[in-house]
Amino acid sequence: MIATKRHLEDRIENYEEQTKRLRQTSFRDQNVTIPQGWLDCPRFGQDIGFIIPSKVPLSESYNDCVPSGKRYNFKEWFTSGRTKLGLVIDLTNTTRYYHPNTELRHNGINYVKIRCSGRDSVPDNVSVNTFAYEVNQFENNFSHKYVLVHCTHGHNRTGFMIVHYLMRSRPMMSVTQALKMFSNARPPGIYKPDYIDALYSFYHEVKPESVICPPTPEWKRSEEVKVDDDDDALSYPVVQGNNQEENVKKLSNDDILGDDIPYGQEVCYQKLINDMLNISMQFPGSHPVSLSREALQLLRQRYYYVTWKADGTRYMMLLTRDGCYLVNREFRFRRVQMRFPCKYDPSDYKVHHYTLLDGEMVIDTFEEGGRRCQARRYLVYDLVAINGQSVAERPFSERWNILEREVIRPRNDEKKVMNHWYRYEMEPFGVRIKPFCLLSAVEKIPSLSHETDGLIFQGWDDPYVFGTDHGLLKWKFVETLDFLFDMDKYGRQMLFLQERGKIKLMEGYSVEFRGDGWDNNPASYCGKIVECSWDKEKKVWVSLRIRVDKSKPNGIGTGSSVIKCIKDDITKEVLLEEIKKITRLPMYVDRIRRDTQEAERRKHGNRKG
C-alpha cells in the first residue's frame, strides 16, 4: 500500500514536471523573447484617477529568462498588497505574455483584449472607441477598483489610449494638458512623434511649438538587439477625423461617415434616446407625407412655414460629453469628432450632453480660386432634446429658436475667438441651421449650392411627431418610391414595399434601369433598395439610384400616398397658385405681419448688440 502511494506521488510529480516543461516548450515554440527594453523599463506609473499605466506583466513561465529582482507578473501584484484591480486592458498584438484565464479571470479580474499594432501606425479609431467604452463601463460599475492598462512598455499605445479617454471624459481638457497628465504619471510619456501628432489631429487642435516629443528612453535604446516595439505586428490603417482631403476626392451622399462603436454602447444609446423621449421605437425621426390635393387643406387650417427639401442623407445627431454620434435611419450609431459648446457661462463652461438634433447631410459645390470645390455640411432643421430634456412637445417655432440660440450660436461665437486652440475647420463637416421662410416668401427661396428635390412645409405651432407625421408635408419635383428589388427563378422582376414589418410584393409593378451608370444585368441589383420615379406615358417605374443608406423599402402607406400624389399631379405652377390664395386668408395675413415685425425687431436688436 505504501509503495502504491509512493508510486502515485511520483507519477503526480512527474506529470507536474512534464506539464511545466511542455508549457516552457510551448512558449519557446512561439519564439518567446523578452521584449526589447522590458527589463529596465519601469513597471508601472502613478494612478491617473482609477487608471494605472503599466508595461506588460510576464507570466511565471518567463522566470528562467528574467532575473529575480526584475520579475513582474500578476501573481506578484496580488501578493504585494498593491491597488485592487478590477479590469486589465491588454493592448499588445500577441497572446504570448501571460494567460488571462488562469492569471486574471480565475482571480475575479475582468480582462479585455484590444489588439493594437506597435509598428508603423497608431491604434485605429474603432479600437479607441472600444477602449473608451470599456473604461467608461468599468468606471460606472466598479467605482472602488482600478483598471490596469498595458501595451508592451506602457508608454506609446497605453498613453495614446489614456489620453483619448481623458479627452472624452473631461471635454474641456486640451490635448496638451492630457499629454502632460500622462507624462507626469508615466515619465517620459508618449515618445513617438506620430502618436502625438495623431492626437492633435484627431481632436482638431493646433500643436503648440512648446510641445516637444521626448527622446526614446535610455532603457529602450540600450539593448543591442534591434526589435521594434511589438509583437508579431500587423499594421492597421490609420483613420483620422480630418477633412483636409475632402476637396481632393469627389464627395458622395453615399460615403460612410464616422467610426463604428461597440455594440453594447450602441444599445445603451438607443435605450437612452427612447427613455429620454418616453417612446419605444427603432428610428425616432419624424417622416413627412407627400402633399396631395387633400393635404393642401392642412395649409389652410394651420400656420405653415416652408423650406427647401435637400437631396441629401437623413441623420439625427446625438451630442454627448464624450463625442457626437450620427444616427441613421436604421438606428445605427457612428462616432464623429465634433465640438458643441453650451451657451457661454464664464463660471460654468460646458459642452452639450444628450442633445438630439435632426437634420440632413448635404454636399455643397462652389467655386474657389478658379477651381470647383466641395464641402460636406450638416443642415440642422429641428431640435428634439437638449441636455437630457425632451422638447418634442414644444411648438416648432420654440424648438427652432432654442436650436439657434443654444446649439448653433455658441459654436459660431467660439469660432470667432481667434486664439482658441480648437480648429473647427478640421471637423469632418460643417454645421448650419436650416432656415425656414414665411409661406408667402416661397418663391424667394434662394438658389443653393447643393442639390434639392422639392419643398418641406412645417407647421409653425406643431410638436415634434415621432415616425410618420401627417402634418409635415413634402412636395417633390418628381415623386419617388423606394422599392426592394428582386427577381424570381424565371428572371421576372419583383418590386416590394413594406407592410406591418414584412415585405409585400406589388403585383404588376416593374422597373426600367435607364441611362448611363446602370448594369446591363438587373440581377446585380437583387436585394437592394432602388429609388424609382413613375413614367406616366409608359406606365412603368424608372430607377433613379440605389439607396445605400436604407435597408428597407417604403411602407405600403407611403406608397399609397405617393401614388395618390402622382395622380393628383400638383405641378409647381398649381402649388404656387394655391399658396397665393392661402396666404391671403385672414389667419395668414395677420400672423405674417406680426412675424415680419418681430423679425425686424430682432434684426435691429442684433445690430445694436
The CATH number fitting domain 480-570, selected from 1.10.10.10, 3.40.640.10, 3.30.9.10, 2.40.50.140: 2.40.50.140
Q: How far is residue 167 from each of residues 176, 215, 229, measured CA to CA in Å?
A: 10, 24, 25
- Catalytic, 309? Answer yes
Hey, what CATH topology would domain 11-221 get? Answer: Protein-Tyrosine Phosphatase; Chain A (3.90.190)
The CATH number fitting domain 259-476+584-608, selected from 3.30.470.30, 3.40.50.10320, 3.40.50.80, 3.10.290.10: 3.30.470.30
C-alpha 219/C-alpha 229 separation (Å) is: 13
Asked if the model's pLDDT at residue 188 lies above 90, the reply is yes
| The three three-digit cell numbers of residue 132, written as one number | 473608451
- pLDDT level of residue 29 (50, 70, 90 thresholds): very low
Q: What pLDDT score does 223 carry? A: 46
Mean pLDDT of 442-470: 89
C-alpha 213/C-alpha 197 separation (Å) is: 10
Q: What is the tens place of the pLDDT at every residue in 502-551?
A: 999 999 898 999 888 888 888 999 999 999 999 988 889 999 999 988 88
Q: What pLDDT score does 20 carry? A: 46
C-alpha 203/C-alpha 423 separation (Å) is: 9
Active-site residue among 41, 55, 116, 151? 151
User: What mean pLDDT is reported for the chain?
Assistant: 88
Q: What pLDDT score does 261 carry? A: 98
Asked if the model's pLDDT at residue 501 lies above 80, the reply is yes
Per the DSSP assignment, residues forming a β-bridge with 334 are 260, 326
Active-site residue among 55, 309, 324, 532? 309
The domain limits of the chain are 11-221, 259-476+584-608, 480-570
C-alpha 62/C-alpha 289 separation (Å) is: 68
Q: Reduce the secondary structure of 51-68 to three states and give it as a string.
A: EEEECCCCCHHHHHHCCH
Mean pLDDT of 424-445: 93
C-alpha 189/C-alpha 173 separation (Å) is: 17
Specify whether the CB–CB gap between 276 and 217 falls below 8 A.
no
User: What percent of the chain lies above the pLDDT cut of 70?
Assistant: 89
Question: Other CB atoms closer than 10 Å to residue 152's CB: what's the count?
Answer: 25
Global pTM value: 0.86
Q: What pLDDT score does 244 carry? A: 43
In the chain, % helix, strand, coil (3-state, to 5) comes to 35, 25, 40
Pick the more confident residue, 505 or 224.
505
Q: What is the tens place of the pLDDT at every residue in 225-279?
A: 444 455 544 333 333 444 444 445 788 888 999 999 999 999 999 999 999 999 9
Asked if the model's pLDDT at residue 354 lies above 90, the reply is yes
- Catalytic, 151? Answer yes
C-alpha 483/C-alpha 57 separation (Å) is: 56
Residue positions in the annotated binding site for GTP? 314, 329, 358-360, 474-476, 545-550
Q: What is the tens place of the pLDDT at every residue in 59-87?
A: 999 998 899 889 999 988 888 877 789 99
CB neighbour list of residue 489: distance below 8 Å, 6 or more residues apart = none
CB neighbour list of residue 26: distance below 8 Å, 6 or more residues apart = none
C-alpha 248/C-alpha 232 separation (Å) is: 35
Q: Angle at Cα 48 formed by Cα 151 and Cα 206, nearest 5°?
A: 80
